[in-house]
A = this chain, B = another copy of it.
Amino acid sequence: GTEFTSISVAEFFYRNRQMVGFGNPTQAVYSTIRELVENSLDACEDAKILPEINVIIRRESSDLLLIEVSDNGPGMPYQFVPEAFGKVLFGSKYGLRHKRGTFGLGVTMAVLYGQLTTNYPATIITKHGQGEANEFRLLVDIKNNTPIIEYSGPNSSHSIGTKVTLKIRGDLKRSKLRITEYLRLTSVSTPHAQITLLIDDNPPIQFGRYSKMIPTPPRISRPHPRSADIELLHHLISNNNSMTLKAFLVDTFQKCGTKTATRFLHFLSLNPNRTTESLTRDEIVRISNALRNYNGFDKPESQCLSPIGKDSLMEALNRLYPSASIKYEIRGPFEWNGHPTILEGAVVITDSTPAENPSLIRFANKVPLLYDASDDVLTLAMKRINWNRYGVDTNSQVLLFVNLCSTRIPYREAGKQSIAAIPAIQSEAELLFKTLGRAIKRESSSIRRSKRN
Contact = CB atoms under 8 A, between A and B. Distances in A.
B7 A94 contact: yes
Contact of A92 (B2, B24, B76, B375): B2
A87 B95 CA distance: 24
A5 interface: yes
A126 B87 CA distance: 37
A428 to B, nearest CB: 16
A8 B46 contact: no
A318 to B, nearest CB: 34
A2 B281 contact: no
Interface string A79-94: 0100110010111101
Interface in A382-418: 408, 410-414
Interface stretch (A49-57, A113-121, A271-279, A355-363): A113-121
Contact of A12 (B9, B230, B235, B408): B9
A163 B14 CA distance: 33
Quick one: which of A18, A284, A408 has the most chain B CB within 10 A? A18
A91 B374 contact: no
Nearest to A8: B89
B95 A231 contact: no
A421 interface: yes
Contacts of A117: 229-230
Interface string A418-440: 00111100000000000000000
A18 B422 contact: yes
A104 interface: yes
Given A6-B104, A116-B231, A230-B116, A95 B1 contact: yes
Contacts of A94: 3, 5, 7
A119 B374 contact: no
B231 A142 contact: yes
Contacts of A80: 4
A3 B80 CA distance: 10
A420 B12 contact: no
Contacts of A19: 411-414, 420
A46 B1 CA distance: 8
A410 B18 CA distance: 7
A142 B231 CA distance: 8
Contacts of A285: 118-119
Contacts of A12: 9, 89, 103
Nearest to A74: B2
Interface in A431-452: none
Nearest to A230: B119
Contacts of A235: 143
A5 B421 CA distance: 29
A309 interface: no
A251 interface: no
A77 B87 CA distance: 32
A79 to B, nearest CB: 9
Nearest to A2: B92
A247 interface: no
Contact of A6 (B90, B118, B413): B90
